[in-house]
Amino acid sequence: MKYLLFSLALLPYTLFSQKHDYVWISGDSNTPNTTSHGGIIIDFNQQPLTAQYNYREMNMFVCNASICDSSGQLLAYTNGCHIAGANDEVLENGEMINPGLAWQVSCIQNADGYASGYQSAFFLARPDTQGIYYLFHKQVKLFLNPISVYSEALLISILDMHQNAGQGKVIEKNVALLRDTLAFGELLATKHANGKDWWVVTPRRNSNTFYVLKFTKDGIVDTLRQTIGIKP
């Protein structure tokens, strides 16, 4: 365990094996009448990679994540408000993730996407399991008087891509893994030394204490808490 956080610092972006991260979805201020800004698809299946406009109803603010199958074909994505499929339609049971006041303001009132911070969500394929994907996502607590915001929980939502003739369905959502005052964003994952499982890591807010969760074919099987290094 003492070497785990050092390895994360060396490999902060090594999140996926195969081609699960080959299509990136982004873009804000989508309108159906212009292609000068808004929805973007970046496709690493093409060499050189391609970036093209794609109108969609779902705006991306600072929270966004996408997942492909092992061949690099887009399966689903999220802006922290809902989970959509490759056809840009919200998946069955994929509406309203991260519920609460921050969801109401970010997703309904402003319609920008969930304001939970950079690196506040990602998908991982469940190890040794075909067609099951976990979305790890930070839930935000918003106060209006006076205005303040912080990450209050780490949640998961689970996709089964066998459902609905391969279009997928969210079979569980907003399941709490942690409830604490967490860092705003700063959610990371790295492969376990066995080459199959994952370590999912998030720090507490303004702290040198980290939560480390082991993700296997059986789901989250262990949650560790480690204090290490210099307190920010």
pLDDT tens, 184-199? Answer: 899 999 999 999 999 9
Domain hosting 76: range is 18-183
Per-residue confidence at 52, pLDDT binned at 50, 70, 90?
confident
Residue 84 forms part of a structural domain: yes
Burial class (CB in 10 A: 0-12, 13-18, 19+), 170: buried
N- to C-terminal Cα separation, the chain: 21
pTM, two decimal places: 0.88
Residue 225 forms part of a structural domain: no
Residue 170 forms part of a structural domain: yes
Percent of the chain with pLDDT over 90: 65
Number of structural domains (the chain) is: 1
Q: How many CA atoms lie within 13 A of 29 on its CB side?
A: 4
